[in-house]
Amino acid sequence: MLRIEEKQPYYILPTQRYDLTTLPPSRVMQEDFTFFIKFNKEGKVQHTETPSAIMMRPGMHYGLSYNQQSGHIQWEFWTKVGDDSKHDFVTFFTEPYELEQEWTFVVRHDLKNKLFELTLINPEQAVDVQTREYEGELWSYSGTPYNFGCGNYFKMVDESHYFWADYTLHYSGLLNNSKYNVDDILKFVKDNNDSTTTLKKSIELNPDNYDAYSLLMGHHIAAGTQVMLPEEKRNVKLGMKYGDELIRIRSDHGLPYHMKANCYRQLGDFEKAEPLYEESIEKRKGLSSEGTAYIVSAHNYMFSGDLNTARLRYKSAIDLNKDVPRRWFILNLYLTYSYIHLNLK
């Protein structure tokens, strides 16, 4: 769960930066899609006369909101019909329940038939379904982020368009198709509620299941794009045990050593992390990931206070990334930070 407080929104960028999605999310809500979310309202926001955005794309607002005065939940969108822009919305009334209770919302969009199918499931699991057809085409939101907890956050926009919200997000998802019905979505959420159990079962069937151990390890330490457990459930030492299994299964690869070293670094044991990072560098010589091995080793030296060695490692990574301008620029920033810290020290 994620607590989204007033004036502290979260957002997802329309383009991929770290491969967090299987597809760039920019155009997903322009075509066939399914969006689902479970939430409950928390505190009372200051501006009671405007909607509170649960998930909304900014500009001519497109998404889901609640109104703390009337208690309703609303999906809104804009279309372009000829030279005209048309605003439309679908409203669900929540009485006799409260927004502070748990609500599940699913919207499926059928581009061919220009149709939204919207489903709201109340706290007692009763289902309310509405459909809305439209003319023309949906307004393009391809360049806009997905905002959770606000409608817009740019300073040049009037504050009445911020649409601050205060709620707990239980889960949310976005699919680039509309072929799954609501029961399919709810079953998917239920079946994946405890991925740890499923992964452990897969290891029972195959004790050398590298991917399962990697995912389990990623529950406890930062591991690329893997989804971590809530902070109170993370156990770095357990993650380290999974790292041992990764090394056992693929001792000739650099990544397992890299991951276990990350565990030691997270615990502040930089000395024990060092030889593992060295092993990772050695096994990645000549590979595209060699630069990454130098980067994380440099971070480890940086955190341990050995800034001179950190700079040498950053320079090695820079040399290996000369043909990647964006990465080259970021690595030079790391190098700059090492000089700043050295001067401060």
DSSP symbols for 224-266 = TTPPPPPGGG--HHHHHHHHHHHHHHTTT-SHHHHHHHHHHHH
DSSP symbols for 71-114 = --EEEEEEEEETTEEEEEEEEE--TTS-TTS-EEEEEEEETTTT
Amino acid identity for residue 26 in this structure: S
Stretch among 39-43, 189-193, 236-240 having the lowest mean pLDDT? 189-193
The reported pLDDT for the residue numbered 156 is 65
Token code pair at residue 44: 């009372």
Token code pair at residue 336: 């700059």
Stretch among 16-30, 53-67, 237-251 having the lowest mean pLDDT? 16-30
Amino acid identity for residue 7 in this structure: K
pTM tops 0.75, yes or no: no
Name the more confident of 32 and 329.
Answer: 32
The reported pLDDT for the residue numbered 20 is 54
Cis peptide before 96 (omega within 30 of 0): yes
Structural domains of the chain ordered from first start = 2-191 (2.60.120.200), 195-344 (1.25.40.10)
Burial of 73 (0-12, 13-18, 19+ CB in 10 A): buried
